[in-house]
Structures are given as C-alpha cells and as structure tokens.
Structure 1
Amino acid sequence: MASNTSTNNGGGYNFKVVLLGEGCVGKTSVVLRYVEDKFNDKHISTLQASFFNKKLNINGKRINLAIWDTAGQEKFHALGPIYYRMSNGAILVYDITDEETFKKVKNWVKELRKMLGSDIRLVIAGNKVDLEKERNVTVEEAEEYAKQVGAVHFHTSAKQNFNIEEMFLDLTQRMMQHADIVEQKSTLMRNNSTRRNVVVVEDESAEPAQPSKSGCCSGGGS
C-alpha cells in the first residue's frame, strides 16, 4: 500500500488529511473553524472538494497539514477515492441529531480500510453537540464503534469551537507516531539489506600463504 507520509532530516512532516461524511454534517464548518477560526451559520454546500493548508509546530517539529474537505452529496461519492488516496489521516464526520449520517460513516470506514488498510489514522467526529437535546446517536454506540475500528471518537461543535483543535492535534500526533514507526522499520530493513549484500574481498597484496610442510618422512620408498 502506498503511503504519503514523508519526513525530512529537519524533523518536518507532510500529512494529507481528508474529511468525509454526508452533506450538511458540518465538515466545512469544522475545517474553517480549525484553519481560520471562522464560523458561518449559513450552510454552503461543498462542490466536489476544497483544499486547506495548516502549518503546526509540535515539540519543535514542523508539520504541514494538507486538508481536503469533500462534498457529501451522494452524486459526488464516486469521487471519494480521488481525494482520500494517499491520505495519512481521515476525519469522518456525522451529525449527532441524524442517525443516518452515522450509518454512512460506517460505509466510509469500510472503504478506507479496504483501500488504505492500517496505513491511515482515523477520527470519528460527532458534530453539532450544541444541539445535544436533539441527539439521535448515543454516545455509547458511537464510542464503541470507534473502538472496534481503531478510530478515536470526538464530540465536536464547530459553532461553539468545541474540541476542534483537540481533535486535529490528536490526529496529527498519531500520524507522527505512525510515520516514525514506518521510518524506523524502513531504516532497519535498509540496514539489514546492506549487511546481507556485504561481500568479503581478500586483500590481493598480502603475501601468499606458504604451504605447510608434511610431518611424514620424505623420499623413502617401500
């Protein structure tokens, strides 16, 4: 499986993150709140995909996040692989007031695991917790499902700026950990390969070895 993780000698990381989910769950609001700290009450549907860039510094390490916000309408579903291929992380967003959007998250998870396996770090975001009274997806069900598929679950509100920063930070740190492990394994394999390919060449300039003298008596015939 191809991985888009890249690190450089200066301690920098480049990661691709994709947001997936149904239309109207608040994907664009989540990204805009994180990248620009803005919120717009008027819903504007994303057509196909939007691209955002965010630069971070965590423990002295530079991180560049390329964030893809995809359209949620069914007619754009087939375009999904174009945007999530080579992704290091995915945020799957659902609306806590709409159970159908949570079911669709499960479909996305299956698709991502099928295409990218364990190379991708997953977050499941239950958005719009400012509408808690209208909740239709139980906290227990959502968190249990996230645990089953190896994702981390966050409750978020783009409107109230709740858990947005924390969610992206957690995902970024997990992508960094995974990138470091991949790099370590790659270095180990390279080192092992180098050792296997070592050929011992005898020094031709050395004095030829003298034949050892036989311990038996010479010249005496029977």
Structure 2
Amino acid sequence: MTLTPQKIVLLGESGVGKSSIAIRYFYNKFNSSIEATIGATFINQTVQVSTDYEVRLQIWDTAGQERYHSLTLMYFRGAKGVIIVFDVTNQASFRKAKKWFEEILLKGLENSKVVLVGNKIDCQTSDRKVEKSKAEEYAKENGIMYCETSAKTGEGVKEMFFNLAKELPTHTQQENSDLELSYTDTDTEENQTSETTNKGNCC
C-alpha cells in the first residue's frame, strides 16, 4: 500500500476557526475558547484515498494575526495543498482570504491544490454575511475548490480534507523527504506555542 506524505498549509485571518478545524479533524472535538496560534502547529493525519493508496497529510496550522504574516509565508515552501479559511459571518475575513490567494500566486504556488473554506456554517442564518453563491463564484473564477464547514459540529470537515487528499499529486517518499527532516507528530493542544484569546462560541 502506498503511503505518500503531503504538506498542507492552513491559512486565514485570526479567529476564522483554522485551529478548530484542525482539532476537529484530528481529535474530533471542539473547544469554544481556543488559543491563538503563534507561528504554526503541525499534525499528521492519514487519509485512505482508495483501497491501495493512502495519503499522510502533514497539516500546518499557521498564525492569522497580521504581525505574523511574514512568518506565515515561510511555511508555504513545499506545500502541495493550501486551505484558505474564512468566517461566513465576517465579510472582512472573506476579503482577507482573497488576499491570501493572491499571495499564493505571488509565491509561485499556482500548481498547489487550493481549497477555499467557509467556516462557521452552524451560525444563525441571519448572522451569515458571505453568501455561499458568492464564495462559490469566486472559487470557480479562480479554478479552486470550495467547501463549507462547521468546526463546532464537524459538518463538512472530514469531507473537505478527503476531497483535497484525492486531488493531491502522487509522490514517492524520497521526493517528499524534505518534509520529514526535522518534524515528528505533534499534539496540537499540548505542544503549540500560543497566546490565549476567546474566539467565541461559533466556530
């Protein structure tokens, strides 16, 4: 059975739920008060794409605060997949997601698989500020995938990672060895360097 490591980077403004999505996917749990990421945290998760093919996602959850912007750009290197997250209740976060996509193009990652993710779909309909049709239109215009998730309920999270894994190119262990040099499996909650912030109850 083929096991291929693939580097995935999570991008998005602070508070959109990047860490909550990663924790939901890895631990299948949710915490309404979560610590803001400083730098990046790293987890591994294996995805069974088919009966004879597995992908080991090396998921980098990056800081969303503007002061860490230049540091976050460092984690782009070697990324085969990029997940750009915005909060469907926050128009500004959608505009920021578009800017992150522009950064990806500037960094020469146009061949990476990109997923635009609208998170917090568990919120009240009246609280939603970014219509699904608008986000889908933007994704279609730019040739990227679009998914919607709720880290709070888990809706769409596994499906999003699975759909991305299916689209990733096949590489051998040797071709991806640069991703393995200095990293081991990391417990997102216990080993990250972080500062406390309350992201609210809707993630």
Instruction: Give the whole-Å Cα distance in 2 for the aligned partners of 1:118 and 1:104.
Output: 18
Corresponding position of 1:83: 75
The alpha-carbon deviation at position 61 of structure 1 amounts to 1.1
SS in structure 1 opposite 2:55?
strand
Instruction: Tell me what 1:18 maps to.
Output: 9
5+ long unaligned stretches in structure 1: 1-9, 181-222
Q: 1:102 aligns with which of 70, 94, 98?
A: 94
Question: Larger deviation: 102-111 or 53-62?
Answer: 53-62
Amino acid at match of 1:168: F
1:159 equivalenced with 2:176 (yes/no): no
Whether the aligned pair in 1 keeps the contact of 2:147 and 2:160 (CA below 8 Å) is yes
Q: Within 5 A, what are the aligned runs for 1:172-191?
A: 172-175=165-168, 178-179=169-170
Q: Distance in 1 between matches of 2:84 and 2:109?
A: 16
Which of 110, 117, 134 is residue 118 of structure 1 equivalent to? 110
Q: CA deviation at 1:81?
A: 1.9
C-alpha separation in 2, matches of 1:141 and 1:131: 18
Aligned residues: 169
CA contact (8 A) 2:104 2:110 kept: no
Which residue does the alignment assign to 2:48? 57
Greater strand fraction, Structure 1 or Structure 2? 2
Alpha-carbon deviation of 1:63? 1.5
Output one character per residue of 1:79-105: Cα deviation in whole Å (capped at 9) or x when no partner: 122112110001100000100000001
Larger mean Cα displacement after TM superposition, 130-139 or 26-35: 130-139
TM-score, with normalisation over the residues of structure 1? 0.73
- 3-state SS in 2 of match to 1:12: strand
Larger Cα-atom Rg = 1
Letter of the structure 2 residue corresponding to residue 41 of structure 1: S
- Specify the SS of the correspondent of 1:130: coil
Q: Is the 8 A contact 1:85 1:116 kept in 2?
A: no
Percent identity over the alignment? 38
**What RMSD, in angstroms, separates the aligned Cα atoms of the two structures?**
1.3
Secondary structure of the residue aligned to 2:21 is helix
The 5 A counterparts of 1:20-59 are 20-59=11-50
Unaligned runs of 5+ in 2: 172-203
Q: Which TM-score applies when normalising by structure 2?
A: 0.80
Larger relative CO (CA 8 A, sep 6+): 1 or 2? 2
Task: Decide which moves more: 116-125 or 68-77.
Answer: 116-125
